[in-house]
A and B are shown apart, each in its own frame.
Chain A
Amino acid sequence: KQEVTQIPAALSVPEGENLVLNCSFTDSAIYNLQWFRQDPGKGLTSLLLIQSSQREQTSGRLNASLDKSSGRSTLYIAASQPGDSATYLCAGGSGGSNYKLTFGKGTLLTVNP
């Protein structure tokens, strides 16, 4: 059974700082790993998807990495802005599953102006 853990649970940084959010998973037979953003009262917005054969994906100021052997993924946010404040969730496919996402509990990020 896939388990996903995110550390830290909450993070507060000053505007402009670069930061890293961590995600670990127990089943290395992961199909793909997705990073989402959730704003209060809203649904999830997909940020990046890394296929199991890939090691990283980049979109603008965001870079996500995947290391299946160590069961880890990181989301790097460069030059953080107050608008980046949200809860960030990572999710991976359960063992052998290509549809059922197992989510971590998220990291609540606050970027202070």
Chain B
Amino acid sequence: GAGVSQSPSNKVTEKGKDVELRCDPISGHTALYWYRQSLGQGLEFLIYFQGNSAPDKSGLPSDRFSAERTGGSVSTLTIQRTQQEDSAVYLCASSPAVGALNSIQYFGAGTRLSVL
């Protein structure tokens, strides 16, 4: 079956512009996660969704970052007024459930964002 799909795979934007990154999770997965991988840094957690609600937004770096999920499926991560430090690979993951001891997170290939 299809895995986690992210689009676009690459995005180049100018400083100050807004961008939207899309994630299509594996069908039936109730949990969805966004992470960011910056050059030289490990992956950092941004936000997670259980269904359409986001119980934990603690990883979002600033109020320029927001995310939503509709229909318990597709999620969009929006970055407003992009800055050069936002340049990174943004990874999305999904899992069948949250709280299960064997809840593996399945990752998409990521969106590489470059802010000029």
Mask, B35-59, CB within 8 Å of A = 1, is: 1000011111100100000001001
Q: How many residues of B contact A (CB 8 A)?
A: 29
A18 interfacial by beta-carbon distance below 8 Å: no
Which of chain B's residues 1-39 have a Cβ closer than 8 Å to chain A?
4, 6, 31, 33, 35
| Set B33, B42, B91, B102: member contacting A99, Cβ < 8 A | B33
A100 near B56 with CB under 8 A, answer: yes
Q: How many residues of A contact B (CB 8 A)?
A: 27
Question: For residue B98, which residues in chain A have a CB less than 8 angstroms away from its CB?
Answer: 98-99
A43 near B104 with CB under 8 A, answer: no
Q: Once the chains are docked, how many angstroms separate the CA of A94 from the CA of B48?
A: 14
The stretch of A47-55, A67-75, A77-85 in contact with B is A47-55
Question: For residue A31, which residues in chain B have a CB less than 8 angstroms away from its CB?
Answer: 101
Question: For residue A36, which residues in chain B have a CB less than 8 angstroms away from its CB?
Answer: 107
Once A43-B4, A43-B91 are accepted as A-B contacts, the answer to whether A101 and B108 lie under 8 Å apart by CB is no
| Set B31, B42, B59, B110: member contacting A43, Cβ < 8 A | B110
A102 near B45 with CB under 8 A, answer: yes
Question: For residue B114, which residues in chain A have a CB less than 8 angstroms away from its CB?
Answer: none
